[in-house]
Copies of this chain bind each other. A is one copy, B any other.
Amino acid sequence: MPQVDQDGRLRHLLTLDGLSPATLTALLDRAQAMLDGIDDRSTLEGVAVCTLFFEPSTRTRLSFQRAAQRLGADVLGFDASTSSTTKGETALDTLRNIEAMGVRGFVVRHAHDGAVAELAASAAPGTALLNAGDGRSAHPTQGLLDMLTLRQAKGMDFRELKVLIVGDVRHSRVARSDLHALRALGAGEIRVCGPAALLPEDDTLAGCIVTQDFEAALEHVDAVMMLRLQRERMTEGLVDSLEDYHRDYGLTPQRLRRAAPDAVVLHPGPMNRGVEIDDAVADGPQSLILRQVRNGVAVRMAVLEALMGRGGS
């Protein structure tokens, strides 16, 4: 596995797939310590981190930027999605160039599956890549922050946990990273629900209870992980209308009552209010959505420290 070196240490964070429960738990523990203000964190003073986004995402970029700032790192931004300066340069040449400027860490987002792993395979030995989302494949820090959020709400033991993921799993790197992490941490039951056209046909859902009946799926679950509905699913003909989607898969307060009484609601943002989630749920007492964002900075600090800190590779 290219992201872990021979001594078992993380060199890159490309995917949660294949990471050991011990590795995941160590990252989550460290993130929790960051939140608890335990101030023994490594410093990245004088170290440069570049956010290299081939696909735009201001919020994820800001979260990584804040995490790097809090560790004392210098942050450089390269918005390759709007940069006219790449001038036909390959992504790898761009990476190697910024690497040659003395940058040791790259937070990379790319529209294509596997693009970040490909770059990592060609990076210099001392360089760490953090996948900030590639195609439909993986968004590992989102998976980690979701697990941290679940752990804070439901305790460390996932074996009794019933988790429901709802929506466009087919196109979702968030869902894939959540599934990798939930399995590794031994979640008791993973349910997946969404319209057939938005469910994956490969083995992504192996071991999951899959249904298109949202209300049945909600029964007694401890956590509901909503996914964002991308508007392009309409133009692609995969979803008829926002109204239809809301009728069938929108999380309303009424529907949420089918879940366990203390069930929690997660959403990776940005939300389509009134489409996949109602205001009363998004802003309600069971919502952990802003907690997820808060946890995101801590998780990204933990990952940056693990990959680039004194104890890192």
Contacts and interface: CB of A to CB of B under 8 A. Distances in A.
Nearest to A275: B88
Nearest to A69: B74
A98 interface: yes
A102 B59 CA distance: 13
A102 B57 contact: no
Contacts of A20: none
A48 B83 CA distance: 24
A100 B62 contact: no
Interface string A52-72: 000011110011011001100
B97 A83 contact: no
Interface stretch (A166-174, A189-197, A216-224, A293-301): A293-301
Interface stretch (A5-13, A199-207, A243-251, A265-273): A265-273
B101 A294 contact: yes
Contacts of A96: 290
B56 A103 contact: no
A93 B283 CA distance: 10
B269 A59 contact: no
A74 B84 CA distance: 25
Contacts of A97: 59, 269-270, 290, 293
Contact of A294 (B56, B57, B89, B100): B100
B270 A89 contact: yes
Kindly state the interface size class of chain A when it binds its partner. 35 or more
A297 B93 contact: no
A270 B83 contact: no
A254 interface: no
Contacts of A57: 85
- Copies of the polypeptide in the assembly: 3
Nearest to A89: B270
Interface string A70-85: 1000101011000111
A93 B271 contact: yes
Nearest to A290: B100
A310 interface: no
B269 A98 contact: no
Contacts of A56: 83-85
Interface string A124-164: 00000000000000000000000000000000000000000
Given A59-B97, A290-B100, A76 B66 contact: yes
A173 to B, nearest CB: 15
Given A97-B293, A293-B100, A58 B85 contact: yes
Interface in A198-235: 231
Nearest to A78: B58
Contacts of A100: 290-291, 293-294
27 contacts: A48-B66, A48-B69, A58-B78, A58-B79, A58-B83, A59-B85, A62-B76, A62-B98, A66-B101, A66-B102, A69-B74, A69-B76, A70-B74, A85-B270, A88-B272, A90-B273, A93-B269, A93-B270, A96-B290, A97-B290, A97-B293, A99-B290, A100-B290, A100-B291, A100-B294, A101-B296, A102-B297
